[in-house]
Amino acid sequence: MDTSGNIMADVTNSLLYFYNSTTFSVIKFILGIYVAVLVIDIILFIYQRGISNDVRETRLGMNVPKEFLRKKPKAKLVTRWNKLRNDIELGDDAKMKVAVIEADDVIIDLIRRMYAGAPFAKKEIPVDEMIDSIPAGQIENLADIKNSHLTRNRIIHDESFVLTAEEAHEVLAPYEEFLRYHEVLD
């Protein structure tokens, strides 16, 4: 029993000696630097990915634009939308065309941000391709939005295109349905 006690005492003394040695202090210092670098890398990675998008996506199941969630951005979007509606109500052809183009830009921007991680939602990809790439059933009235976007393209590419107030309302209807579905408009 005396020898096992001596062995345990020797092992304990050896470990204490190693723990207090310069070699172990150097190892602790190097490991401390390594851990600090890892922590900084993790923080930078989270910052680069955008923590708010990850939290929003985790909580809601998808990355939803802030206009759908927060009151202040939603109020700004509603104000902008009401201005576009007023421009159409005035009946001036030029203002109606600009309002339709702006309304399309608003909706397409929201859709791109909804699908921010998807390869088809990149800015370089044309809107027609992006809309065709969205899986069926993801957006309720996607076909109507595409038709409205085609009208917007006709406004831009055909200088002789005449837009009536009725057509402008028809173009805005799918966009408004999209905004109502996401509870932006009442």
The model's confidence at residue 50, banded by pLDDT at 50, 70 and 90, is low
pLDDT by residue (tens digit) across 147-186?
999 999 999 998 888 888 899 999 999 999 999 888 888 7
pLDDT class for 61, splitting at 50, 70, 90? low
pTM to 2 decimal places: 0.66
Structure tokens that stand for 118 in this block: 């998807």
Q: What mean pLDDT is reported for the chain? A: 85
**What is residue 17's predicted lDDT score, i.e. its pLDDT?**
87
